[in-house]
């Protein structure tokens, strides 16, 4: 696996930027919480705990890890300038010092996994979609996000039914990496997005993969349980990468009209975000107590 892009001077600059972003984010977090007169995260679940994902799967939260229900996840993501993250669950190490992940399930229908993946063509489509998503960011007064390239090219594991990739993006001169995994089921797809410091990407991927071994679809929802008459998705593996809702447009070449593609739309300055989330550790423990 290639190392994160950037030299030592870039890393030093990113560190200074992250500290500045952290200070700003903490002020925003505290003032937002104070105005609402309630904690941003209301009901964290500490492991060991069985987190239900929709009504189709379970993710076992081990001791030393935490999960959030959709309401808490949505509030936290919105506070981090990640709008529209709904019907999603957060899974992370306790205190979220190293990384966190967000999972959502979509009833897409059964996705065929026999498609050949073309990383170069997919990257170009994602870049176009990301640039269009900047229209919304400018409206909100948020920094623009630009997709640079692959950190980990898209690849599919037939035995685990997992499709994974990592894209390198840049915002305000700082490069960040989002690692995405799609897990196929009988009638839909679970999407897991990993957020981590680029320097810790390899270690975080290994840890997340280990935790995903504790994620499982219900017996009647497993990929192999497909039956004649089940709903069929209108796209394959490529459609999952560029965004399920955009798959039909991608097939016809009409994707240029799209305002953005969810897989590349997050504004995640990982180092600052992770430090901010680590500062919530005491809050989580108070709520647990």
Q: Is 15 within a domain?
A: yes
Q: Identify the H or E element spanning 131.
A: helix 119-140
What is the separation of C-alpha 22 from the centre of its chain, rounded to a whole number of angstroms? 20
- CB burial string 4-14: b at 16+ within 10 A, e below: bebeeeeeeeb
pLDDT reported for residue 163? 97
pLDDT reported for residue 8? 38
* Angle subtended at Cα 219 by Cα 216 and Cα 221, rounded to the nearest 5 degrees: 80
The residues of the chain scoring below 50 in pLDDT are 1-36, 244-289
pTM over 0.85? The answer is no
Q: Is 69 within a domain?
A: yes
pLDDT, tens digit (0-9, with 9 covering 90-100), for 155-197: 999 999 999 998 888 888 877 777 899 999 999 999 999 888 7
Strand partners, 164: 155, 181
pLDDT, tens digit (0-9, with 9 covering 90-100), for 261-273: 333 334 333 333 4
Q: Is 1 within a domain?
A: no
Strand partners, 60: 50
Whole-angstrom Cα distance, residue 79 to residue 279?
A: 14
Q: Is 148 within a domain?
A: yes
pLDDT reported for residue 37? 57
DSSP assignment string, 192-261: EEEEE-GGGHHHHHHHHHHHHTTEEE-GGGSGGG--TTS-B-S--HHHHHH-GGGHHHHHHT-GGG-S--
pLDDT reported for residue 78? 81
For residue 130, cis peptide bond before it (omega within 30 degrees of 0): no
Q: What is the DSSP letter of 144?
A: P
Q: Is 53 within a domain?
A: yes
Going by C-alpha positions, the residue among 240, 257, 243, 246 that lies closest to residue 131 is 257
Q: Is 3 within a domain?
A: no
Q: Is 62 within a domain?
A: yes
pLDDT reported for residue 173? 82
Domain extent at residue 36: 8-288
pLDDT reported for residue 29? 36
Q: Is 107 within a domain?
A: yes
Number of domains in the chain: 1
């Amino acid at each position: 696996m290639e190392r994160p892009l950037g030299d030592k001077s870039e890393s030093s600059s990113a560190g200074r930027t992250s500290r500045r972003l952290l200070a700003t984010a903490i002020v925003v977090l505290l003032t937002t919480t104070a105005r609402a007169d309630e904690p941003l995260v209301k009901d964290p679940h500490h492991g060991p705990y069985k987190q239900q994902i929709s009504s189709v799967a379970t993710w076992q939260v081990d001791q030393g890890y935490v999960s959030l229900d959709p309401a808490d996840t949505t509030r936290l993501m919105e506070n981090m300038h990640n709008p529209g993250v709904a019907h999603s669950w957060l899974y992370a190490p306790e205190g979220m010092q190293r990384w966190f992940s967000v999972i959502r399930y979509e009833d897409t229908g059964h996705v065929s996994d026999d498609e050949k993946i073309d990383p170069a063509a997919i990257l170009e489509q994602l870049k176009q979609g990301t640039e269009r998503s900047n229209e919304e960011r400018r409206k909100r007064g948020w920094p623009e996000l630009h997709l640079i390239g692959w950190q980990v090219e898209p690849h599919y594991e037939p035995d685990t039914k997992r499709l994974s990739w990592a894209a390198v993006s840049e915002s305000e001169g700082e490069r960040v990496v989002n690692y995405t995994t799609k897990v196929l089921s009988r009638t839909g797809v679970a999407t897991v997005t990993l957020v981590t410091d680029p320097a810790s990407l390899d270690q975080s991927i290994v840890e997340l993969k280990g935790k995903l071994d504790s994620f499982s679809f219900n017996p009647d929802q497993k990929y192999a349980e497909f039956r004649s008459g089940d709903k069929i998705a209108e796209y394959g593996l490529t459609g999952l990468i560029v965004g399920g809702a955009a798959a039909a447009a991608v097939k016809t070449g009409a994707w240029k009209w799209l305002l953005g593609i969810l897989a590349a739309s997050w504004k995640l300055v990982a180092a600052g975000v992770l430090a901010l989330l680590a500062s919530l550790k005491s809050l989580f423990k108070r709520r647990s107590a």
